[in-house]
Structure 1
Amino acid sequence: MLATGSASAAAAAKKSESKRATATSVAKKPAGKRSTSVNRAVRVKASSRAKQRVRSAARGGANVRRASVVVPARLSYGQVYGLHETADPLDLKSSVALVLDQETNEVLLSKNSQAVLPIASLTKLMTALVVIEAQQPLDEVLTITAEDIDTEKGSSSRLALGTELTRGEMLHLALMSSENRAANALGRHFPGGLAAFVTAMNHKAAELGMQDTRYVEPTGLSSRNQSSARDLATLVKTAHHYPLIRELSTSPEYEVAVGKRHLQYRNTNGLVFNPTWEIGLQKTGYISEAGRCLVMQAQLAGRKLIMVFLDSTGRYSRIGDAERVRKWLEELSLSEEPEMPDTEVLPRVTS
């Protein structure tokens, strides 16, 4: 087993457990106690305000030829906590990684796996699980309303207000192409409404023993939706029991009719288009606080594996990390070396 970052992971997990790792709690720390990473986060906000002032001046007719303001990218929680400083033999770009055998629970690779971080649209796996277990009719027509508009991040959607799709179509778009309005509509149409749906999400997490996990909404747009790699592996293993989740999450493309128009959607995970990968379930996620995230169930080197990558830097880096793990496992299976000792075993999931 490759295991790295236990100290960093423990520190991150401890911070997240006490404060739920919110940006607000970090910002309220006394200035003298802030880390360099946190100071950089503060400078990001300051630079954003400066850039806005430059734009305002330009609109007001001021003679502004060049703006020397450079706005850094927003830091993820993993960057703020220094998790990217954890080295690993595979040189992964994800600050958190976990690979385990689905059948034996043997951990093959672990990097900061106990750190609790925002999980972005990986949230939608739990959204799908709650919808399916509630046995709500998939042919019931749901309508997109103003309540489904993203006020958290201001993201766009091709599902205009008034769009009518079946629950099954909404579920397909949420899992395959991470459609936020579709996911929110699924939560709104749950018995008791959105609040009851979020309660059901957290109840299911507790039932599965996902002690590091908390949900506040069904899309993943909120950075307060948080979990650990260990908990997410449990979620993937449970969701894999449902053929519909496996089918919809790995569908390469899907077309829906919206009035007289036909909208074509593609899977957000490029690996499902690669015939050399045998993927049984997958979900991607991204918000700036979470970085690029990916969970998968896949068969590699003759084993059924669960893979979790969190807080990856770069648009394609999570895919690159999956390829690095695949190459490592294939080389390992061809080697004549004995099986690596001191493997770690997670508790079995029975549901």
Structure 2
Amino acid sequence: MTIRDTVFRTLAHTNWRLALPALLLTCGSLIVQAASSDPEVVVPTTSPTTAAISPSGVVTPDPHAASASAPAPSASAVAQAPQPDVIPPLQSPAPSEAPLMKLPVNARHMLVIDDSGRVLMAKDADTVVPIASLTKLMTAMVVLDAKQDMDEEIRIDDADVDRLKHSRSRVKVGATMTREAALELALISSENRAASALARHFPGGLPAYEAAVAAKIRALGLSHTALADPTGLSPANTSTATEVARIAAAAARYPVIARISSDKSSEVEVNGRPRELRNTNHLVGAKGWDIRLSKTGYTEEAGRCLAMRMKSGGQTITVVLLDADGSAQRLRDAAAIRKSLAKLS
């Protein structure tokens, strides 16, 4: 019997005004029944379904919402039942973050992260490229791990001369200095001969130094980093912006590296005479900059590179720039990043 037949039969045998409430109830019941059999119609339930969302985003049904009379599911049914859907937590960026994320930089590879490791800005950060003298951060860590006497004098030898790139040096063959002075020369002035001498005077020589570097790479979980020499002159010294940020964070845990690399200038003795050093990162010590660790790098293959940690808005921010077109462009990139970070704080 159709709904129309029911309506006419009821009106034919009863005063329509008296029958109206019963008629409406009947119609409603028939409509719900018809809708229940239609897969495209959603029929509301009489009892609301309640659920809780955990901090991880997992939807958990309210255990009190289940009917007491409902039979418990069998073990096999539970095993085959689909797991609750996972809803990714929403992390809406603040409006002030938008300019930072869209900030154009000259460097071809870049990463900016905060204290918690949250990526604030990235540009092709996982491509493996040469990193030039950023290598010296790793050299410094390995040398300090060996716990050698920092006051011991070491000598620059002919083996420390750069015959690959023929880079200039202010330290002559035969010059002597303490191990700490060589470390300052390597980190502040990016002196290649000093870095090479540090590796040669490693306990066990260069083979032991290379083994220590390989072990350090593994310890830091750097799966895309390869270092062929202690200076960074070799184009085979490669990494990614992401992994260079890890190297910088690890180096910052060494107070000696943090102190030396964040000095605007320093004075060391070479052959018993004072030698003034200037940081290759001209932002160190500049007005408005609070840099806690820094290292620059350059080769023709790597372009201009920079890894530094600085204070901004009460946080320590790590900035990595790889393969910028020149020193001026590298500085402009860093200044633009700093300006955008100030808007976030």
TM-score greater than 0.5 by the shorter chain: yes
> How far apart, CA to CA, are the structure 1 residues paired with 2:141 and 2:133?
14
Is 2:121 the counterpart of 1:109?
A: yes
> How far apart, CA to CA, are the structure 2 residues paired with 1:262 and 1:244?
20
User: In structure 2, do the counterparts of structure 1 residues 326 and 188 end up closer, same or farther at CA, with 3 Å as the change threshold?
Assistant: same
Runs of 4 or more, structure 1, over 4 Å off, are: none
Q: Deviations over 1:132-165 (max 9, x none)?
A: 1111110010000100000110011111111000
Alignment equivalent of 1:123, drawn from 116, 135, 145:
135
Q: Deviations over 1:249-301 (max 9, x none)?
A: 11111223334643222100001121311111010000010000000111112
Give 3-state SS (helix, strand or coil) of 2:103's partner: coil
Is 2:104 the counterpart of 1:91?
A: yes
Alignment equivalent of 2:277, drawn from 259, 265, 277:
265
Is 2:264 the counterpart of 1:252?
A: yes
Specify every segment of 5 or more residues in structure 2 that has no aligned partner in the other structure, as ranges.
1-100
> How far apart, CA to CA, are the structure 1 residues paired with 2:291 and 2:267?
21
> What amino acid is aligned across from residue 107 of structure 1 in structure 2?
V
> What amino acid is aligned across from residue 146 of structure 1 in structure 2?
D
Aligned to 1:186: 198
Give 3-state SS (helix, strand or coil) of 2:327's partner: coil
Specify every segment of 5 or more residues in structure 1 that has no aligned partner in the other structure, as ranges.
1-87, 334-351
1:206 deviates by: 1.2
Aligned to 2:338: 326
Q: Deviations over 1:301-334 (max 9, x none)?
A: 222111110000122211111111111111233x
Q: Tell me the number of residue pairs that the alignment of Structure 1 and Structure 2 aligns.
A: 245
Aligned to 2:81: none
> How far apart, CA to CA, are the structure 2 residues paired with 1:169 and 1:176?
10
1:247 deviates by: 0.6
CA RMSD of aligned residues (A): 1.3
Give 3-state SS (helix, strand or coil) of 1:293's partner: strand
Give 3-state SS (helix, strand or coil) of 1:309's partner: strand
Give 3-state SS (helix, strand or coil) of 1:94's partner: coil
Aligned to 1:170: 182
> How far apart, CA to CA, are the structure 1 residues paired with 2:255 and 2:287?
20
Is 2:292 the counterpart of 1:292?
A: no
Q: Which has the higher contact order (CA 8 A, sep 6+)?
A: 1
Is 2:113 the counterpart of 1:100?
A: yes
Alignment of 1:42-53 (within 5 A): none
The question of whether the paired residues in 1 share the 8 Å contact of 2:263 and 2:285 is answered with no
Percent identity of the aligned residues? 46
Give 3-state SS (helix, strand or coil) of 2:147's partner: coil
The question of whether the paired residues in 1 share the 8 Å contact of 2:146 and 2:203 is answered with no
Aligned to 2:98: none
> What amino acid is aligned across from residue 185 of structure 1 in structure 2?
A
TM-score, normalising length: structure 2:
0.69
> How far apart, CA to CA, are the structure 1 residues paired with 2:220 and 2:103?
31
> How far apart, CA to CA, are the structure 1 residues paired with 2:210 and 2:257?
19
> What amino acid is aligned across from residue 132 of structure 2 in structure 1?
A
> What amino acid is aligned across from residue 268 of structure 1 in structure 2?
T
User: In structure 2, do the counterparts of structure 1 residues 260 and 208 end up closer, same or farther at CA, with 3 Å as the change threshold?
Assistant: closer
> What amino acid is aligned across from residue 97 of structure 1 in structure 2?
M
